[in-house]
């Protein structure tokens, strides 16, 4: 593996990958996603949808982070 493709030297190289392109995006959201999404939903006064996929949860988290001011 070349250094350019080594995740240890570039640990965030795929951090910006579009959730629609995730190979596991159609799986149920992770526990960490659910916990954070529930917190963000409560802060934003929105309903928490526990049936979201990993990809949809990621998109919803991004939207609620922007709305609540928690985004980077």
**Taking a C-beta distance cutoff of 8 angstroms, is the pair 25, 55 a contact?**
yes
Distance CA 72, CA 62 (A): 10
- What's the number of domains the chain is made of? 1
Q: What is the pLDDT of residue 30?
A: 95
Q: Could you tell me if residue 65 is inside a domain? A: yes
Q: What is the pLDDT of residue 47?
A: 95
Structural domain containing residue 36: 27-72
Q: Could you tell me if residue 57 is inside a domain? A: yes
Through-space distance between the first and last CA atoms of the chain, rounded to whole angstroms: 31
Q: Could you tell me if residue 17 is inside a domain? A: no
Taking the model in full, what pTM does it have? 0.72
User: For each of the chain's 72 residues, which pLDDT tens digit applies?
Assistant: 555 555 555 555 556 788 888 888 889 999 999 999 999 999 999 999 999 999 999 999 999 999 999 876
Q: Could you tell me if residue 18 is inside a domain? A: no
Q: Could you tell me if residue 5 is inside a domain? A: no
Q: Could you tell me if residue 64 is inside a domain? A: yes
Q: Could you tell me the two tokens for 35?
A: 């916990």
Q: What is the pLDDT of residue 17?
A: 82
């Amino acid at each position: 593996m070349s250094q350019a493709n080594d995740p240890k030297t570039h640990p965030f190289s795929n951090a910006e990958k579009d959730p629609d392109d995730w190979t596991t995006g159609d799986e149920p959201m992770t526990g960490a996603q659910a916990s954070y999404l529930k917190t963000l939903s409560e802060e934003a006064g929105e309903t928490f949808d526990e049936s979201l996929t990993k990809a949809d949860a990621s998109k919803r988290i991004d939207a609620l982070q922007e709305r609540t001011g928690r985004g980077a």
